[in-house]
Structure 1
Amino acid sequence: MSVRIAPLKLEGFEQLPKHARRCVFWEVDPATLGGDERLADPEFEKEAWLSMVMLEWGSCGQVATPSHPVLGGIADPDCLGYVLYAPPRAIPRAHRFPTGPVSADAVLLTSIGVDPAPMADGLPRELIARVVDELMRRGVRALEAFGRTPAVAELLDAGSAGRAAVAPDIAPVLEAVGDCSVEHCIIGADFLTDVGFTVVAPHRYFPRFRLELDKGLGWKAEVEAALEHLLESARLQEPVGAGATMPSVSAE
C-alpha cells in the first residue's frame, strides 16, 4: 500500500491523531492562562491557531495517509503521520527557550508524529523531505527546531523545586498546558540530528537545530535514493508475477 503526503488543510483537521488535535504546547503561552494550566477546549484552540496561521502565512503542516482503498473498497482515512511548522512569530512557546530566538530567515518545526504501523517505516524522513520541498518553493532559507536531549529526564525526575534550582532559565519551557509537556511535545534531539539538522545553539537540555534549505535538494535526493533502493530490494525478493500487488511508498 502506498502513502500520500499532502499539505494539511483546515477541513482535514479531524484526520489528525487525537493528541495532535489537542496539543497546544507550542501554540499557547502558559503566562496567558493566569496560573491555570487547563484549557476549556484545547482542540478548539488548536484549530483556531491553525486557521490563523493558514490565513496569514499559508500551509503549516503535512499529513501522510494511505493513498489507496483497503481491501473491500472501503477507504482508510487513518493518518499515518503528520508534521507541523510555522513562522516563529506565530509560536508563543518559541520565545521561552534559552537557546532562542529562532533565526529571522527560518521557519520553526514544532511537531512530528508517525503511526507505528509497518507501512510507516521511513515516513519521518519523507515528511521532513516534503517540508523541505514545500519551504524551498516558498523561498524560505532554513528550517529550525528546538530539540529535547536525553538529559531532560533528570529535570523531570527532580520535581518542580529541583528544576528551578538546577536551571531557572528553563522554567518557562517546562510549564505544562493540560496534557502537553516537554517529554511529549518537543522533538527528540537525536531524531533531528539523524535527519540532517545541525546544532546552532548548544544547550544541555534544549539545543536549537538548523537545516539549511539551500542544501535541501541534495539531502532530499539522498533520501529518495535510499527509498528507491528499498523498493528495488523488495522487487527482487518478490515471487514472479507478484508485481501487481507490490507495496510502494511515494510522496505525492
Structure 2
Amino acid sequence: MSRRVARLTVDSLAALPDEVRTCVAWELDPVERARAEREGTAAEEKAAWLSRVLLEWGSCGRVVWIDDAVAGVVVYAPPAFLPGTVVMPTAPVAEDAVQIASAFVAEEHAGGGLGRLLMQLAVKDVLQRGGYRAVECFGREPGVSPDADACCLPVEFLQRVGFRTARGHVRHPRLRLDLKSVVSWREEVELAWERLLGAVRPPVPAPVPRASSRGVSRETSRGASRVGRSAQPPSGDAWRSARRSAMRSTPVWWSESGSR
C-alpha cells in the first residue's frame, strides 16, 4: 500500500470529501456563507479561500493519503483568514494562535490514531513557521449534534491530544494548545506515523568496529610486548634457583608424586 502525507493544495481540494470541500463555516463571514450555501457555490468559495491563504500565508493544511485515497485531512490558518468565527459564543481566537478550522478522518481509518497524527502535523508546521504561541480550536461538547456543527471537533478528542479549555461553554468551548508544551512533537511525528501504519522497525544495533592491525595503539602494542616477555620461560640458572627455593618451602608431607 502507498502511504504519504502531502500539503493541501487547490488541486487536492477536489479529492476531499464533500463535508470538508464544501465546509465554509469559518472561511466566510455569516452573510457570505448563507449566500454560498443558498446558491450552491460553497465548493468554489472554499477553493478561492484556499488560493488566497496559500498566496498570503502559505500552506494551511495536510492530507494523508493511503492507497491513493484520502484517509484524513486537517485545515488551519490564522484567525484573520477565518471571519466566520465571529458567530461563536467563545470567540475570538487569540491573536497569538493559529486556528484549527477542520479535521476529517475517513470512517475506515477511525480509531487508528490518524486524528492525533493530523494534529501533530499541524502543530509541527506552526512550530516551524515561528511567531505563534498556540493552536486553538472550537470544540463540540457531548450531546451536541455533529450534523449541526460538523466543523467543530469533539471536546474529548481535543483534550486527549493536549488541548485545554481557554473559555468554557455548554456547547462550544474554545480550547488551546500551547506550543511550548509540545516541542517534543516535532520528533514524535515520524514515530506516530510509523505506529499508525504498523511500520515500526526495531532499533538497529550499533556496528561493532572491526579489528585492524593499524588501529592498535602503540600503548597497546607496548603492553602486549610486556605481557609476552613476562610469559617467556626463565633461563636455566634462574629456573633451577627457583626450583630449589620452592622445594625448601614445600611442606614435608608433599612430594612430586602427590603422596606422602
TM-score, scaled relative to structure 2:
0.68
The CA deviation at 1:19 is 2.0
1:230/1:116 Cα in 2 relative to 1: closer, same or farther (>3 Å)? Answer: closer
Match of 1:205 among 155, 163, 171: 171
Listed as ranges, the matches of 1:56-205 within 5 Å are 56-66=56-66, 76-118=67-109, 121-139=112-130, 140-153=132-145, 182-205=148-171
The SS at the match of 2:14 is helix
1:177 is matched with none
Q: Percent identity?
A: 42
1:20 is matched with 20
1:183/1:95 Cα in 2 relative to 1: closer, same or farther (>3 Å)? Answer: closer
Of the two, which has the highest radius of gyration? 2
Aligned residues of 2:114 and 2:196 also touching (Cα < 8 A)? no
The CA deviation at 1:25 is 1.6
2:215 is matched with none
Distance in 1 separating the partners of 2:150 and 2:8: 21
Q: RMSD between aligned alpha carbons?
A: 2.9
2:40 is matched with 40
Distance in 1 separating the partners of 2:159 and 2:180: 18
Distance in 1 separating the partners of 2:184 and 2:158: 17
The CA deviation at 1:232 is 7.8
The CA deviation at 1:29 is 2.2
Aligned residues: 201
1:26/1:234 Cα in 2 relative to 1: closer, same or farther (>3 Å)? Answer: same
1:194/1:2 Cα in 2 relative to 1: closer, same or farther (>3 Å)? Answer: farther
CA deviation profile, 1:78-122 (whole Å, cap 9, x unmatched): 111100011111112212222121111100001000112249821
Contiguous gaps of at least 5 residues in structure 1: 67-75, 157-180, 237-252
Distance in 1 separating the partners of 2:36 and 2:20: 21
TM-score, scaled relative to structure 1:
0.70
2:258 is matched with none
| Range moving further from structure 2, 84-93 or 115-124 | 115-124
Aligned residues of 1:6 and 1:64 also touching (Cα < 8 A)? yes
The CA deviation at 1:3 is 2.8
The SS at the match of 1:100 is coil
Aligned residues of 1:4 and 1:65 also touching (Cα < 8 A)? yes
Aligned residues of 2:25 and 2:33 also touching (Cα < 8 A)? no
The SS at the match of 2:107 is coil
Contiguous gaps of at least 5 residues in structure 2: 203-260
